[in-house]
Amino acid sequence: MHLLLKSLILFILPFSVIAEEFLPSNIYQLDSRFAHHVIVVEKSTHKLYVFENSDSRPKLIKTYRIATGKIAGDKQVQGDEKTPEGVYIFKKFRPAKELLASYGDYALIYGAGAFTTNYPNVMDVRAGKTGGGIWLHSANDDSRVDKRFVSRGCVVAMDADLKEVSNYIDLGNTPVVIVQNLQYLNKDTWIKNREKISSVVHTWATSWKEKNFNEYISQYSRNEFFNPRKGNFSQYKRYKKAIFSRTETPEISFSNISILSHQEYAVVTLEQDYTSKLIQDVGKKILYLKKDENYNWKIVAEQWHKLEQKQYMAFVPSPRFFNENQEALVQSQERKTSNIKEN
């Protein structure tokens, strides 16, 4: 009997250990302000996963069935009926009442409501991808989800499921990562991959604070970096060098760092607190990184928008979008997402 019990323990233990040592390759770090939860859509299995922040690591808490675009593959152009793949955020919530007012009876297919995304994002635009209106919405007929390939590019969930998923959505913050296949890495590989990205961010942040211009600018891609307002790498380099040459050393701190990735790029989001004689602000900085020809991560784009306040309340999952009494809160959240810009 003791021998049998020991054999059972030895049989069970390896599987529990293995399960703990594999982590999703698209989520390397979460935080308490911007990426307290992450929605992952896996197109190959037609599943939607909700991960929560567990000591900066992803913890799977919910799984749902979903449907995607009528045509398989990554979205490329307007009207191709494909669901895009990449790292996005939820921008607005459009309840059924609003959709019906805008689109008439056709809006019935959206069910209880829809969450809009920021497709095309910076990386999509650079890749020449077109189109828009990529939403996560429900359906007036849940059997549509069973058909799997039903939309013009949107992600479709069952009505009750969308209402449950909405509890974890914080407009302007909660990311949605859409992939063909959600791959898991063993713990050691996952940590190594994370450290390669976080090392770039650490060097970038430290060299900025210490006014080490050469180290700072070396974190940017010479070939691919571009900023709509500051220009290409050479132009941005001249702009930054002029700022670094000032005698004053600003106080800069960073917190609430999250790291997400897609097949082609990584997205790092952080809270940036900047104070100088001329400027004092707190903002949300988003860095987009790609690997260069030597497989080193480099910054290819960045965005920033001002945060209304440094202090914030910890996010608590709760029903906020499908309660008419909460419309004012939803509208307030949407206004906060409207001033994102590249800097």
**pLDDT exceeds 80 at position 10:** no
Position 323 scores a pLDDT of 72
Range name among 91-100, 150-159, 165-174, 333-342 with the lowest pLDDT average: 333-342
Query: Which DSSP state fits 314?
Result: P
pLDDT of residue 20: 54
Q: Say if residue 328's pLDDT is above 80.
A: no
Find the distance separating the first CA and the last CA of the chain, reported in whole Å: 69
Rounded to whole angstroms, how far apart are CA atoms 94 and 34? 21
Task: Decide if pLDDT at 215 tops 70.
Answer: yes
Task: State the Cα–Cα distance between residues 191 and 23, nearest whole angstrom.
Answer: 9
The answer to whether residue 342 scores a pLDDT higher than 50 is no
In this model, does residue 119 exceed pLDDT 80?
yes
Is residue 187 scored above 70 in pLDDT?
Answer: yes
pLDDT value at residue 329: 41
Residue 324 binned pLDDT confidence (cut-offs 50, 70, 90): low
Q: Say if residue 333's pLDDT is above 70.
A: no
3-state secondary structure of 97: helix
> Is there a contact between 109 and 99 (Cβ–Cβ < 8 Å)?
no
Cβ 259 vs Cβ 287: under 8 Å: no
The label of the residue with tokens 């209402």 reads 163
CATH 3.40.50.1390 matches 185-314: no
Cis amide leading into 120 (omega within 30): yes
User: Coil, helix or strand for 333?
Assistant: helix
Contact of 317 with 167, CB cutoff 8 Å? yes
Q: Whole-model pTM above 0.85?
A: yes
Residue 235 predicted with pLDDT over 90: yes
Has residue 25 got a pLDDT over 80?
Answer: yes
Mean pLDDT of 181-195: 97
Q: Residue ranges per domain, the chain?
A: 185-314
- pLDDT tens-digit profile of 137-178? 999 899 999 999 999 999 999 999 999 999 999 999 999 999
Mean predicted confidence (pLDDT) in 198-212: 97
Residue ranges of E strands in 25-120: 27-29, 37-42, 47-54, 57-69, 86-95, 113-117
Supply the pLDDT for residue 40: 98
112-121, 226-235, 311-320: which has the minimum mean pLDDT?
Answer: 311-320
Contacts of 312 (CB under 8 A, 6+ apart): 33
pLDDT band per the 50, 70, 90 thresholds, residue 312:
confident
- Whether the pLDDT of residue 182 is over 60: the answer is yes
Q: Is the pLDDT of residue 23 over 90?
A: yes
pLDDT at position 335 is 47
Rounded distance between C-alpha atoms, residue 127 and residue 118, angstroms: 15
**Cα–Cα dist 38/316, whole Å:** 14
User: Could you report the per-residue pLDDT of 268-284, keeping only the tens digit for each?
Assistant: 999 999 998 888 999 99
% of residues, the chain, pLDDT over 90? 81
Q: What is the mean pLDDT of the chain?
A: 90
Query: Does the pLDDT at position 325 exceed 50?
Result: no
Residue 86 or 311, more confident: 86
Quickly count: other Cβ atoms within 10 Å of residue 223's Cβ. 12
Q: What pLDDT is recorded for position 336?
A: 46
Given a cut of 70, whether residue 326 has pLDDT beyond it is: no
Cα–Cα distance measured from residue 175 to residue 39, given in angstroms and rounded to the nearest whole number: 6
Least confident of 65-74, 201-210, 308-317: 308-317
261 Cα distance to chain centroid: 8
